[in-house]
Amino acid sequence: MEEAYLTALMSELEHKISNAAAKLGDLGEAQEYVGTSSDGLVTATVAGASVIVDIHILAKRRLDRHDLGEAIVEAVNDAERRSTETLRVKSIGVVYRSCRVIRWLVRR
């Protein structure tokens, strides 16, 4: 294949990957994820990867300060884990589609 042709293909691929990554970033920032403590008494909502939006405590009097702190941390960590997993799965989809585009461009 000609070098100019391959350069044009790579440029087109870079543009498509850049657009897909931007869409993925926008999706991650706009979505909220909810996590729960192991005892179910605290829920936390995060936006994107780690912006805490809300913490809801269902039973303040059942937990002492230490246990309440641990429950809040568990809930926030759970919400962040859900966010990370969702974005990771969507990223894998972007990479897979990019690989398909590469194969298609190379075969042209």
Q: For the beta carbon of residue 85, count every other beta carbon within 10 angstroms.
A: 11
pLDDT, tens only, 3-28: 777 677 677 777 777 776 666 666 55
pTM: 0.62
Q: HSE-up of 67 (CA within 13 Å, CB side)?
A: 11
Tally of CB atoms within 10 A around 48 = 17
Domains of the chain (ranges, CATH numbers): 3-107 (3.30.1310.10)
pLDDT tens-digit series, residues 34-50: 999 999 999 999 987 66
